[in-house]
Amino acid sequence: MTSERYNAREAEPRWQAAWDKKAIFVSKNDDPRPKYYVLEMFPYPSGRIHIGHVRNYTLGDVLARYMRARGFNVLHPMGWDAFGLPAENAAIERKVAPKAWTYDNIAAMKKQLRSIGLSLDWSREFATCDPAYYKHQQKLFLDFLRAGLAEREKRKINWDPVDMTVLANEQVIDGRGWRSGAVVEQREMNQWVFKITKYSQELLDALDTLDRWPDKVRLMQRNWIGRSEGLLVRFALDPATTPAGESELKIFTTRPDTLFGAKFMAISADHPLAVAAAAKNPELAEFIAETKRHGTAQEIIDTAEKQGFDTGIRALHPFDPTWKLPVYVANFVLMEYGTGAIFGCPAHDQRDLDFVNKYGLGNTPVVCPEGVDPKTFVITDTAYDGDGRMINSRFLDGMTIDQAKEDVAKRLEKEIRGNAPVGERQVNFRLRDWGISRQRYWGCPIPIIHCPKCDVVPVPDKDLPVRLPDDATFDKPGNALDHHPTWKHVTCPKCGAKALRETDTMDTFVDSSWYFARFTDPWNEQAPTTLDVVDRMMPVDQYIGGVEHAILHLLYSRFFVRAMKATGHIGMEEPFAGMFTQGMVVHETYQKADGSYVTPAEVKVETVGDARRATLLTTGEEVSIGPIEKMSKSKKNTVDPDDIIATYGADVARWFMLSDSPPDRDVIWSDERVQGAARFVQRLWRLINEAAEIGTAAPPARPASFGPEATALRKAAHGALDKVSGGIERLHFNVCLAHIREFTNAFADVLARGDKPSPDLAWAIREAALILTHLVAPMMPHLAEECWALLGQPGLVSEAGWPQIERDLLVEDSVTLVVQVNGKKRGDVTVPRGAQNPEIEAAVLALDAVKLALGGKAVRKVIIVPMRIVNVVG
Ligand code: ANZ
Ligand code: ZN
């Protein structure tokens, strides 16, 4: 018997090499078996794999290995989301070319990924910064342009005058650029946009079909798309107060029922009426300029104090021309939504209430909650947005909200002013078209040429790819493509005049919006996809990634696939049939007395009594144990996958990642638990060694019958097989691991009995060892290969089929029936499966509870509902 320890460091690279040599994870597009596409969100090549990657890829790998064993043609590819700002920052800070930096990182991370033992098809690998990839992205852009799905549009953007770049809303902090600190300007600039709003309704409706997506992700997308039904209302303006040329104000409301609670009108700082009013009012002009400086990000608007400026203009109530409402310019009204103008009803909208309380405009409640006396119902600091009946609303009084909405809509639709109705029903979406222009070097060039004569000219398909120049320099702020001495100077493909290339590149979210489709045939040089292949291999059956991508990446991808369908590049709408969002890896934090953080590797944690105490390994200085938080560089609470793998091996890291919490929850990194996983590996190895030795004595053929001991073991083995199979399919990996541990314990008990097993038991022991090996193979593939070899099996467990479950071993031996006396439950009874009625009857009548309930009365009848209930009638 071997007592040798399992040596992961020696075994793991050996098995990785064996898998590579046989290319068993390479999937073929002409494989006739049913396909299964597992994909984890591909990484950004930042330089190193972090522990979150290990979790993400392990989850996908378990599923991929399992489905492969179940006989599917599994597609499990990997690539690199390789464009983006960090490469340019590296170029600025370290004077390395973005391309060199990126590919060095890819090489380093690929080596790390290999060390985890993932069953990836590397033959399909690509990086999105490869011209061989982005060439097709440029082709897709041009096809979208021809189909009206891409457009050039003037847009308001945040401009950082120091960094000379456009900033995303998230990069504007208190009105200043996040890097430069310069006051951000709002500029109108030509931007390329994808027309995602053409699909607003469809993207919303189809969410209902995505039944293998988390509800929370679908809800987030629903809110992001933000459909609302409402009414457009044209308010007439009092001519005596209104700048020349203006006569009405159009607003959008979802609450036309509250019209009689109106106290003011508010318009956006960008609204034409605001601009007109400011022309003769310098104070107003200053207020508008100040408001714009604050930026337009939703969060800024939501959190900033509500501020307004009375323009002096008065609007007339649509149901009462003598009722005049002041028109304010307000910082909380966005130009990009609805009409950029609202009427304010403070009693029923918190924002409006905050506003009137500041400016002393008062409020009138118009919806009264059921059961509250309208005479005493007042609103002070908290708006009421619940249900109720209309009050203080003339002809609407007594109606429900819905009735009032309908009544107002009907009346205003019928009322004609000028030659248009005053009210018009409208559906609005929050979703905006996707602006993809970025003033950056390290991104996919937009294949457009600007000609002084022909205006915007698409680069002809035959000239693709438009390649990034390798010799860009980064010594000036702004876009290196724009600074390049020659790159942008071209001749117009239409007329031959001197022309300029578009120097904006695409948002990197474009790169990740179709990579999953490219993986199906990355070898096609002619087109982005190969139709019959992409339609056979897509959709992704199980996509796995972080919830931080629940909105943008997943929504953009859903749009992109629709646009690809419209332009003939794929035959379906939805890219991801199943979506899973994994939790984070978290760790406690350690801080020295001076507040600086130290890494877990630098401290020793001890448990003294009930308390835990942490000290610095080097000096023994006590450090405080802080809260458990997401691993981050700033808090230094990270663990390095390389260290873990070097110390314990990849299988231990994988096992730990799977074992501790459900995969959609956060997992707390714990050294003790990792050591527990390491002990389990050794234990399993010892058990398989013992079993292997016993197994050599087992008869080669399956015995005709099994004794009770062998049967019990076989039941445990097949029971575990059944539960683990179902658990993997539902991604309940932590539950699977609990079943494996339970079965391992049962198996260890049998082996511990020590006496020479009968031939049938020896056979069952060998079977159990093989099943155990299969069960751990998706999670700890290296150890499983080692066990497989030890058990004398041919080939590799990674290419072996999943064991057949013997269903009759899953059937329980006994059944439990509910016992009733005169229809009332009095207990239950357990009898052998297949027991006959007289036997059941005797067992029931022998129960104390039954005797007690009968109270000496004679039994008139016993009714037996097979497998379920016994009713004694007395
Ligand atoms: C009057 C009113 C009374 C409103 C009330 C709400 C409650 P959703 O559901 O998101 O579509 N609104 C309209 N356009 C706006 C803009 N450009 N900027 C800021 N707010 C705007 O929201 C629609 C509601 O948001 C509209 O209904 C409008 O205020 C406001 F008791 O009109 B409501
Ligand atoms: Zn031209």
Rounded distance from Cα 372 to ligand 1 centre (Å): 26
Please name which ligand lies nearest the alpha carbon of 379. Answer: 1
Mean pLDDT score of the chain: 93
Beta bridge partners of 314: 326
Q: How far is the CA of 341 from the centre of ligand 1 (A)?
A: 9
**Residue 776 in contact with residue 802, Cβ under 8 Å?**
no
Other beta carbons within 10 Å of 337: 17
Distance between Cα 574 and ligand 2 center (Å): 39
Question: How far apart are alpha carbons 469 and 587 in whole angstroms?
Answer: 43
- Regions of the chain short of the pLDDT cut 70: 1-3, 169-170, 295-302
Residue identifier of the C-alpha nearest atom 20 of ligand 1: 333
539 neighbors 37 (Cβ within 8 angstroms): yes
Ligand nearest to the CA of 454: 2
Is 710:758 a contact under the CB 8 Å cutoff?
A: yes
Query: Which atom in ligand 1 lies closest to the alpha carbon of residue 228?
Result: 11
Closest residue by Cα to atom 27, ligand 1, is 253
Measure Cα distances from 290 to 74, 170, 414, 675 in Å. 57, 19, 41, 59
User: Which residue owns the Cα nearest ligand 1 atom 29?
Assistant: 253
Span from the CA of 451 to the centroid of ligand 2 (angstroms):
5
Q: Is 791 helix (H, G, I), strand (E, B) or coil?
A: coil
Which of 251, 271, 246, 273 lies closest to 262, judged by CA? 251
Q: Which ligand is nearest to the CA of 431?
A: 1
* Count of Cβ atoms closer than 10 Å to residue 815 Cβ: 16
Point out which residues pair with 325 in neighbouring strands.
315
Atom 11 of ligand 1, residue of closest alpha carbon: 228
Q: What is the per-residue DSSP string for 289-322? A: HHHHHT---HHHHHHSPP-EEEEEEEEEETTEEE
DSSP 807: G
Q: Ligand 1: distance of its center to the CA of 755 in Å? A: 80
Q: Do residues 388 and 367 lie in contact, with contact meaning Cβ atoms separated by under 8 Å? A: yes
State in Å: Cα 143 to ligand 2 middle: 20
Span from the CA of 307 to the centroid of ligand 1 (angstroms): 16
Out of 156, 224, 349, 429, give the residue to mutate to test ligand 1, the one with the largest number of ligand atoms within 8 Å of its CB: 349
**Ligand 1 pocket test target in 225, 260, 337 with most atoms within 8 Å of CB:** 337
Could you say which ligand is closest to the alpha carbon of residue 491? 2
**Whose C-alpha lies nearest to ligand 1, atom 26?**
253
pLDDT of 1: 44
Tokens representing 654 are 């994988």
Query: Quick check: bond before 539 cis, omega within 30?
Result: yes
Q: Which atom of ligand 1 is nearest to the CA of 344?
A: 1
Size of the chain in residues: 874
Ligand nearest to the CA of 495: 2
Closest ligand 1 atom to Cα of 340? 17
Nearest to 559 by CA among 188, 194, 85: 194
How far apart are the C-alpha atoms of 326 and 352, rounded to whole Å?
A: 13
Contact (Cβ atoms closer than 8 angstroms) between residue 162 and residue 180 = yes
**pLDDT given at position 301:** 65
Residue nearest to atom 28 of ligand 1 (CA): 253
Alpha carbon of 217 to ligand 1 centroid (Å): 25
Q: Write the DSSP symbol of residue 619.
A: T
Please check whether residue 464 is in contact with residue 135, taking contact to mean a CB–CB distance below 8 angstroms.
Answer: yes
Distance 234 CA to ligand 1 centre (A): 15
- Measuring from atom 9 of ligand 1, which residue has the nearest CA? 228
pLDDT at 159: 87
| Ligand 1 neighbours (beta carbon < 6 A) | 228, 252-255, 258, 332-334, 337-338, 340, 342-343, 345, 348-349, 428
**Residue having the nearest C-alpha atom to atom 12 of ligand 1:** 342
Ligand number, closest to the Cα atom of 493: 2
* Nearest ligand 1 atom, CA 348: 31
CA 630 – CA 632 distance, rounded (Å): 6
Distance 454 CA to ligand 2 centre (A): 4
pTM over 0.85: yes
Pocket test for ligand 1, best of 252, 257, 291, 302 (most atoms within 8 A of CB): 252
**Alpha-carbon distance values, 559 to 183, 507, 540, 606 (Å):** 34, 15, 15, 52
Terminal C-alpha separation, the chain: 65
Nearest to 859 by CA among 819, 831, 830: 819
Q: DSSP assignment, residue 623?
A: E
Residue located nearest, by CA, to atom 7 of ligand 1: 349
Ligand 1 pocket test: which of 258, 302, 342 has the largest number of ligand atoms within 8 Å of its C-beta? 342
Ligand sitting nearest the alpha carbon of 228 = 1
Specify the residue with its C-alpha closest to ligand 1, atom 19. 333
Residue 422's SS3 state is coil
Cβ atoms of 563 and 144 closer than 8 Å: yes
